[in-house]
């Protein structure tokens, strides 16, 4: 396969799942509880990606990492 063909196919494969919900779901028909659940998904995914690496940032001293995470949470809150 040509490199450009592979790039185009990969782009379609990643674009179609993002485009499909716009055609299959109507925002007004989604129940409010499900809509609220979906609003938290990006935060949960971000936390699942960042938190494990943050705790293991300083080898052998997880307490320092926990203090830094706590400081970041407090700063982000304000």
pLDDT tens profile 37-46? 888 888 888 7
Helix axes 32-55, 62-77, angle to 10 degrees: 140
Residue 1 pLDDT > 90:
no
Q: What is the pLDDT of residues 7-42, one digit of tens each?
A: 999 999 999 988 887 777 776 777 888 888 888 888
Average pLDDT estimate for 55-65: 84
This prediction has a pTM of 0.42
pLDDT value of residue 74? 93
Q: For residue 4, what pLDDT is reported?
A: 93
Residue 69 belongs to what H/E stretch?
helix 62-77
């Amino acid at each position: 396969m040509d490199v450009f063909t592979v790039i185009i196919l990969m782009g379609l494969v990643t674009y179609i799942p993002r485009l499909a919900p716009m055609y299959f779901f109507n925002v007004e028909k989604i129940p409010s509880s499900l809509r609220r659940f979906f609003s938290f998904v990006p935060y949960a995914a971000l936390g699942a990606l960042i938190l494990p690496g943050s705790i293991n940032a300083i080898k052998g001293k997880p307490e320092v990492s926990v203090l830094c995470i706590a400081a970041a949470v407090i700063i982000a809150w304000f």
